[in-house]
Amino acid sequence: MKSFRTFTSFSVLVFQALFFLHLFLFCSPYDAVGNDRLSIQALKGDENAQFLLGQIHLFGDEPDYQEALIWLTKAAKQGNAVACKQLGRAFSLGLGTPRNLSRAVHWYQRGAKAGSPDSLFSLYLLHKENEALAKAGAALSLALKQRNNQRWKAILDKLTNNLSISEIADMETEVSHLKDALEELPNFTKEKPLLKQSRIERLNFPNGAEYKGQTRNGLAHGFGRKSKQNGASYYGCFENGLPHGYGQAFDQKGLLTFEGAWIRGKPLVHKTK
């Protein structure tokens, strides 16, 4: 079975560095202090802290793919190429979210826009698995333009040798389409802190629900996570105790059920005519 733990050599080096930071922050007598400190930095928009939290929830002793997805999404939106690639893999395998190939393609493309040839190689693998050989060849061709990799070149040569003249023409067309798609992707933007003066608190409710995150006047206000007793949860922005702004909802099994804007506790769903 495919594993989300498949890593490029670059990713392994990144994770090794993060692993030792994890030991320092989480395996010391100051465990809770380190955890809160890292969470606060992540909530303030620190891309590296968000990425680190994603790795901890992804590769810890008790992996939490749902929470990893949340933090990786925040880091990826700021231009973290490795986070983009990991999100692509999460959506391609259905880890922490229902399997969604179009979202997998989106995040692999975002990783490519962030300058990651590994994301393009992953996109090649995804298209090849689904027998879209022209798109697979296009992704691999662009990956080779970003990085001179002899193994990739050998794979592309073998692929093109088995294609017909018309299929090669289709691949060249897909190269052009992929370039246009990357150009049309929005630029990455650095996150602004939701609250300059914030405190992290844990709130317990009579119905068994629990909240942990930023608060104001004893209410969830800012960024945080609210979990129901049955395991369903919401992670995102709050205002005066209610989900308000960007957020993600998960069911009892930890699968993503809604991602997008919330208005005073309700998801903003666009109705189709």
Instruction: Say whether domain 9-184 belongs to CATH 1.25.40.10.
Output: yes
Residues 39-68 have pLDDT tens digits of 778 877 889 999 998 998 888 888 888 888
Counted residue by residue, the chain has a size of 273
Which pLDDT score, from 0 to 100, does residue 117 have? 96
Instruction: For the chain, give every domain's residue range.
Output: 9-184, 200-267
Cα–Cα distances (Å) from 189 to 53, 64, 74, 123, in that order, read 20, 26, 11, 23
Residues 141-178 have pLDDT tens digits of 999 999 999 999 999 999 999 999 999 999 999 999 99
Helix 31-43 with 47-59: angle, nearest 10 deg: 130
pTM of the model: 0.71
Q: What is the DSSP string of 116-175?
A: -HHHHHHHHHHHHHTT-HHHHHHHHHHHHHH---HHHHHHHHHHHHTS-HHHHHHHHHHH
- Give the CA-trace dihedral at 214, 252, 99, 113, to 10 degrees: 0
Element (H, E) at 196: none
Residue 245 tokens read as 């702004």
Distance from C-alpha of 197 to C-alpha of 150, rounded to nearest angstrom: 51
